[in-house]
Chains A and B, each alone.
Chain A
Amino acid sequence: MEFQSVVMAAGRGSRMTDLTASIPKPLLPIGNRPMIWYPVNMLETAGFQEVIIIALESTSHDIRQALTALCDVKVSLDIVGIPDDADWGTADSLRHIKDKIQTDILVVSCDLVCNVPLHQLADIHRMHNSTLTMLLADLPQTTDSAAILKSKKIGNEQRDFIGLDGDGRRVVIMASEADLDDALTVRRSVLKRHPCVRIKTKLQDAHLFLLKKWVVDYLQQNRSVSTIKGELVPLLVRKQFSRRKKPDDVSKAGDLSMVSPPSTKEDNLDIHSFDEDDEMTVLTRSLSSGAGQRVDGTQDSTITCYTHIVTEGMCVRANTLPSYVEANKQILHELAGGDELLVHPSITTKGKYQIGPECMVGEGVSLGDKVTLKKSIIGKHCTIGDRVKITNSVIMNHVTIKDGSILQGCVVCDNAHMGDQCELKDSLVGSSQNIPSKAKYSNEVIVNEEQMLEV
């Protein structure tokens, strides 16, 4: 076994609370499948036999249920629950399952919807023997889907500044706009080794990482790192250019170079000391004429960060409302070309109906007369009345929409009920909401008042 895979599904969906208020984030439907099915399926396709899923204790049963019973997942699932009240970051979660980690690991977030063959990433990891290999997407972001809730821009769009060296594979600079005041600081030592750095700001981080096993050991020692993306990755990228401490000044310099305050002796360990070379590597290096100097100029640090940049296919992270809508849309687009049946055979219809090519209709849906569906997803057991028009929308399960309503660019959560002749545009309807007849909404969030976060 070369890699173990870990799916991070303990997030609370804090960037799309309107959606996750009633449904746990990993189980939010995308293309009528729970979100977490996509990363698990990707791992299964790549040939993984076992997947470790880190989830909140309260949701772990539902996740197992959803994956095995509904989605027919065959890999063996090891679902590790973490306490609901623990506010853990992704690195904290990794630390929690440390004992299960035997090899290098692949960490993926549960909100990644991506059809990139994973072996491409693994090849880079193997080729460069890299400490960290990350997946980045360089895809044109379609902006029209963000029409939903345009006015309430959810969270500032935070860009990552990613600096790549000449051939665009090695990551030499990594900074998040949120952490910077007004300048991006670049060390001259970095520029000396990589004199031509290409900075890209529109790359999307897919939150899929291949990490060496020793990194987990390091996390075990250094407890101050709590998230992978926010802290561990920038740390590793930075440490590519710091020097391995000489044995005698480890104790002296360790406390300064590490982020953690020196509490115990073990905490003082230098990050480089975790990355021990095996004998063969040491021997190779001692016999080679380069005398310890690597081809690419890194002399001392053996930490290397590489990336694989996706330029085609789909790769979306559904972690905000707009990106959730976008993910649904892209899934429809992907599936429309395939041979999978998008309209479930069990639907009941009354009279004429019109279903566009990029549409998905779930099990047990009943459609009224002259229903028009375009680029939309209808969940299971929904009841759609006569002359209803649904465009660019996501309708979850057990939703009732009465006659003559028009929905455009909406997200309607489970068990919602909508009266006659409603007109909704670019709005979100929370679960179990009742929309009275002839209501008109545009660009609004209709959820339970208790959930509303009043300013």
Chain B
Amino acid sequence: MAGRGRKKADIMEQEDVLQAVIIADSFDVRFAPITKDIPRALMPVANRPLLEYTLHFLVAAGIQEIFVFCCAHANKIIKYLNDTGWTSDKAPCQVTTQVSEDSLSPGDALRLIYDRSLIRTDFVLVMGDLVSTINLQPIIQQHKQRRLKDKVTVMTMLFREAAPRHHTRSSDDDVVLVTERDTNRVLHYQMVEGQSKLDLPLDLFSDQSDLDIRYNLLDCHVSVCSPQVPQLFADNFDYQTRNDFVRGILVHEEIMGNQVQAHVVTDEYAARVSSPPMYDAVSKDILQRWTYPLVPDNRLSSQEQEGFYTLRRHHVYRGRDVFLDHDSVLEENVVIGPGTRIGSHTTISNSVIGQNCVIGDNVSLEGAYLWDNVTLGSSCSLTQCIVCSGVTIADRVVVEPSCVLALNVEVGPDVHLPAGTRVSLHPMQTPGAEDDFQEPTETVQHQTYQPDRIGTEGKGYIWEGDDDQDSLVAAMWGLRLEQEDSSSEESEESSEEEDNLDEENSPPDDIRIFYTEVLDSMQRAIEENINADNLILEINSSKYAYNISMQELNVCVVRCVLESAHLRASLMATASEYLAALKPNERMYAYNISMQELNVCVVRCVLESAHLRASLMATASEYLAALKPRKNERMYAYNISMQELNVCVVRCVLESAHLRALLLATASEYLAALKPLLQPMKGLLKNYIRNSESQQDCLMALEEYFGTHLNISAVLVSVLNFLYNEDILEEDSILKWYRHTAPSSTVPQKAQQQVRTAATKFIQWLQEAEEESEEDSD
């Protein structure tokens, strides 16, 4: 019985155990060449390995089971954890290492964790380079409660409030977050590094009316994850990083229904040692006690000795047995490790010095990070650099800012290392092959040291960055930040100016290209009889390529449909076929075209046909004549009334006939030109001239046209006759028009009268016919 009870309790416990995953690999080369020899997680920060801070943070949060995922230098991490007793029974929580040799990204790591099915409950995911004092407990509780209510929240991301340009904000984590104000739900997540502006899709605003755009957040890469997070990583092989994951969740939110939550802390500390400038910034924060209780003089575990460091004024921490010669000054924010000896007339500020270092006389250290067992000659000057364990620097060496001296390098004497120099005992490999996690190989061809650059007693290779890396390193160190800022402001200024130009120029260009492309594909589709579905796919892809809005797309597609129909029609030269070509085009419906847009397009096509005919036939003046009567800009505007449309169609038909006749210039010849044209156009006209109002419009157009071209007004009779015979115009309408002279702005009254005189013959015939029919019926 007792055994069963305990087992049950065990299960209960397992359910409630708080788990955490530390990704103790950076998967980048920010700290190269240091990371050739030791993993980032074991780099000392304020004389304590980085991993120690992360572990203590999790222990303080009440985490009971920690998985340390290691990849590069896995054996070193395992050895460290064993040596320090983290993996022993006495440790405050259960720490297990998970080793993978072939993981290339945090995504791979989570997939591995999923494969090994280690996660049973909500867990905390952190990177192995985190220094934080956030109290995780309430955040985990909130996360769990949210999950109880609704399972949709898969992750709570932690952010720390930090203004832009805050020293612990690393440039590669420059994130803009859009959150819902009431719930802090993440709606949009975007990296803005190097971008002068940010585009927020309008979809964000469709549901929410109150949002925050936050640029004052530091992403500390701590997340409280639901158990399905590793599964989601496993399902989506393209998720490499957490950023991919978050973006993926947000993009597929509607389909998958998963949401991401943000939690912003304001008072507590969190930062990642993700690059050398961050190493600098975090170290200073630790010395200035922002990270309390994670400070050098505080004993974190039983492994550490009591009173290892003593804190004095101005944040000076002195270890045991430090020997400081006369006239040496420890100005402020300094840690001196135990057993270190410092010569006379030496000034040290904002620096960390490891154990058992030997520093000569007249040395000046400002922002220098010396690890253990470093030997520094006399009259050296070091500014803002990382000097790894076992390095020997001979006398009179000047190290400019942003230098890195990797393990056991020897430099000097009398050399000057320019800013950004990196020295390592490992020769630099081809850029492609150098990876954080690659073990040094012996087969590299032997290169000689360069005594002129690292000194006659120097041992080490200078790592020259290729362009890419150079800028990376330069940007990594904080020094250039200010310059960068000012230049970016300049560019912002200019981009603003470009903006105005952009707005005017680029979109129409894109549309034009897009239009021709759609037209091409459509013509090909017609010629080769390609399936409409494929065509739609093709058009859609062009849409994305040119970033065309849906509305523009619709317009373009209809235009193209009509255009291609027109091209076909002009080959076959009949309008009935032209309309026939129009109708089966179901694509029109696929793109949801309104009737109005269609009308506009039809009008435009007719106009264009007028233009084509004119240009075939004739001179530039005629070309102008073909286009002038209608302000074609207005045609593209979308609100053409039915009346305008009718007038326009009629006029266009007449116009194109007229163009043909212009050369001949006599009424009879015009008639000859018009006749073959009217026949095919009747279908088109029938389509638009349907009721009595549109008939009046049509008649108005005729009147206007012949009123302005009085020399051919004789043709009117035959045109009227034709339209009457084709049942386009009804008798009543014609008579009504004939009797009432509507005032017109374009045609003088006299001309109107003349037009009517010209039509008299037809009217008389009409009336006679009417009387006859009346007589007949009598």
Contact partners of A259 in chain B: CB under 8 A? 500
Size category of the binding interface on chain B: 35 or more
- In the assembly, what is the distance between CA of A273 and CA of B38, in Å? 59
A198-240: CB near B (< 8 Å → 1, else 0) gives: 1111100000000000000000000000000000000000000
Contact A184 B202, beta carbon cutoff 8 Å: yes
B209 within 8 A of A: yes
Q: Which chain B residues in 175-234 approach chain A with CB under 8 Å?
A: 176, 181, 192, 195-202, 205, 208-216
- In the assembly, what is the distance between CA of A250 and CA of B196, in Å? 23
Contact A195 B215, beta carbon cutoff 8 Å: yes
B487 within 8 A of A: no
Contact A189 B492, beta carbon cutoff 8 Å: yes
From A163, A181, A198, A453, residue with most partner B Cβ within 10 Å: A181
A200-B210, A200-B211, A455-B642 given; name 10 further pairs at CB < 8 Å.
A182-B202, A184-B202, A186-B199, A188-B192, A191-B198, A195-B163, A198-B181, A199-B210, A199-B211, A259-B500
Nearest chain A CB to B545 CB, angstrom units: 16
Closest residue of chain A to B693 (Cβ to Cβ) is: A454
A197 within 8 A of B: yes
Contact A182 B197, beta carbon cutoff 8 Å: no
Nearest chain B CB to A136 CB, angstrom units: 13
A191 with B205, Cβ < 8 A, contacts A185-B198, A259-B500, A454-B642 known: no
- In the assembly, what is the distance between CA of A64 and CA of B734, in Å? 50
A161 within 8 A of B: yes
A100 within 8 A of B: no
Contact A195 B201, beta carbon cutoff 8 Å: no
Select one of A186, A199, A202, A243 contacting B198, CB under 8 A: A186
Ordered nearest first, which 6 A-B pairs have the shortest CB separation? A195-B216, A183-B199, A191-B215, A202-B209, A195-B215, A256-B497
A242 within 8 A of B: yes
Nearest chain B CB to A198 CB, angstrom units: 5
Contact partners of A196 in chain B: CB under 8 A? 212-216
A267-290: CB near B (< 8 Å → 1, else 0) gives: 000000000000000000000000
A–B Cβ pairs within 8 angstroms, 14 of them:
A181-B549, A182-B201, A185-B197, A186-B199, A188-B196, A188-B488, A188-B492, A189-B196, A189-B492, A196-B215, A199-B210, A202-B209, A257-B496, A454-B643
A187 within 8 A of B: yes
Contact partners of B210 in chain A: CB under 8 A? 198-202
Contact surface of A with B, Cβ cutoff 8 Å: 159, 161, 163, 177, 180-189, 191-192, 195-202, 242-243, 253, 256-257, 259, 453-455
Nearest chain B CB to A156 CB, angstrom units: 13
Contact partners of A192 in chain B: CB under 8 A? 164-165, 215
Contact partners of A177 in chain B: CB under 8 A? 202
Contact partners of A163 in chain B: CB under 8 A? 213
B493 within 8 A of A: yes
Closest residue of chain A to B208 (Cβ to Cβ) is: A201
- In the assembly, what is the distance between CA of A186 and CA of B641, in Å? 38
A188 with B205, Cβ < 8 A, contacts A197-B212, A202-B210 known: no
Nearest chain A CB to B596 CB, angstrom units: 7
Contact partners of B211 in chain A: CB under 8 A? 198-200
Nearest chain A CB to B244 CB, angstrom units: 21
Contact A186 B500, beta carbon cutoff 8 Å: no
Select one of A189, A199, A200 contacting B489, CB under 8 A: A189
B539-570: CB near A (< 8 Å → 1, else 0) gives: 00000000001000000000000000000000
Nearest chain B CB to A179 CB, angstrom units: 10
Contact A195 B164, beta carbon cutoff 8 Å: yes
Contact A257 B497, beta carbon cutoff 8 Å: yes
Contact partners of B212 in chain A: CB under 8 A? 196-199
Contact partners of A200 in chain B: CB under 8 A? 209-211
Contact B205 A182, beta carbon cutoff 8 Å: no
Closest residue of chain B to A258 (Cβ to Cβ) is: B500
Select one of B163, B195, B201, B208 contacting A188, CB under 8 A: B195
Closest residue of chain B to A159 (Cβ to Cβ) is: B205
Contact B199 A185, beta carbon cutoff 8 Å: yes
Closest residue of chain B to A255 (Cβ to Cβ) is: B497
A199 with B205, Cβ < 8 A, contacts A191-B176, A242-B496, A454-B642 known: yes
- In the assembly, what is the distance between CA of A88 and CA of B100, in Å? 72
Nearest chain A CB to B549 CB, angstrom units: 5
Contact A201 B198, beta carbon cutoff 8 Å: no
Nearest chain A CB to B202 CB, angstrom units: 5
B493-517: CB near A (< 8 Å → 1, else 0) gives: 1001100100000000000000000
- In the assembly, what is the distance between CA of A455 and CA of B165, in Å? 57
Contact A455 B209, beta carbon cutoff 8 Å: no
Contact partners of A183 in chain B: CB under 8 A? 199-202
- In the assembly, what is the distance between CA of A189 and CA of B494, in Å? 12
Closest residue of chain A to B492 (Cβ to Cβ) is: A189
- In the assembly, what is the distance between CA of A119 and CA of B205, in Å? 33
Closest residue of chain B to A245 (Cβ to Cβ) is: B493
Contact B493 A243, beta carbon cutoff 8 Å: yes
Closest residue of chain B to A173 (Cβ to Cβ) is: B213
Select one of A159, A199, A455 contacting B596, CB under 8 A: A455
- In the assembly, what is the distance between CA of A453 and CA of B640, in Å? 12
Contact B500 A182, beta carbon cutoff 8 Å: no
Q: Which chain B residues in 76-111 approach chain A with CB under 8 Å?
A: none
- In the assembly, what is the distance between CA of A191 and CA of B492, in Å? 12
Nearest chain B CB to A141 CB, angstrom units: 11
Contact B202 A180, beta carbon cutoff 8 Å: yes
- In the assembly, what is the distance between CA of A454 and CA of B694, in Å? 12
Nearest chain B CB to A99 CB, angstrom units: 31
B468-497: CB near A (< 8 Å → 1, else 0) gives: 000000000000000000001100110011
Nearest chain B CB to A280 CB, angstrom units: 29
Nearest chain A CB to B161 CB, angstrom units: 9
- In the assembly, what is the distance between CA of A189 and CA of B192, in Å? 12
From A180, A187, A243, residue with most partner B Cβ within 10 Å: A187
- In the assembly, what is the distance between CA of A192 and CA of B488, in Å? 12
Contact B197 A187, beta carbon cutoff 8 Å: yes
Contact partners of B216 in chain A: CB under 8 A? 195-196
Closest residue of chain B to A197 (Cβ to Cβ) is: B213
Nearest chain A CB to B497 CB, angstrom units: 4
- In the assembly, what is the distance between CA of A185 and CA of B202, in Å? 10
Closest residue of chain B to A203 (Cβ to Cβ) is: B209
Contact partners of B192 in chain A: CB under 8 A? 188, 191
Contact partners of B497 in chain A: CB under 8 A? 253, 256-257
- In the assembly, what is the distance between CA of A163 and CA of B200, in Å? 13
Nearest chain A CB to B176 CB, angstrom units: 7
Contact partners of B200 in chain A: CB under 8 A? 183-186
Nearest chain A CB to B129 CB, angstrom units: 25
- In the assembly, what is the distance between CA of A183 and CA of B198, in Å? 9
Contact partners of A455 in chain B: CB under 8 A? 596, 641-642
- In the assembly, what is the distance between CA of A56 and CA of B196, in Å? 45
Contact partners of A202 in chain B: CB under 8 A? 209-210
Contact A186 B197, beta carbon cutoff 8 Å: yes
Contact A195 B214, beta carbon cutoff 8 Å: yes
Select one of B181, B202, B492 contacting A187, CB under 8 A: B492
- In the assembly, what is the distance between CA of A159 and CA of B206, in Å? 10
B632-655: CB near A (< 8 Å → 1, else 0) gives: 000000000111000000000000
A454 with B641, Cβ < 8 A, contacts A182-B201, A188-B198, A196-B213 known: yes
Contact partners of A257 in chain B: CB under 8 A? 496-497, 500
Contact partners of A199 in chain B: CB under 8 A? 205, 210-213
Closest residue of chain A to B216 (Cβ to Cβ) is: A195
Nearest chain A CB to B743 CB, angstrom units: 15
- In the assembly, what is the distance between CA of A159 and CA of B192, in Å? 26
Contact A182 B198, beta carbon cutoff 8 Å: no
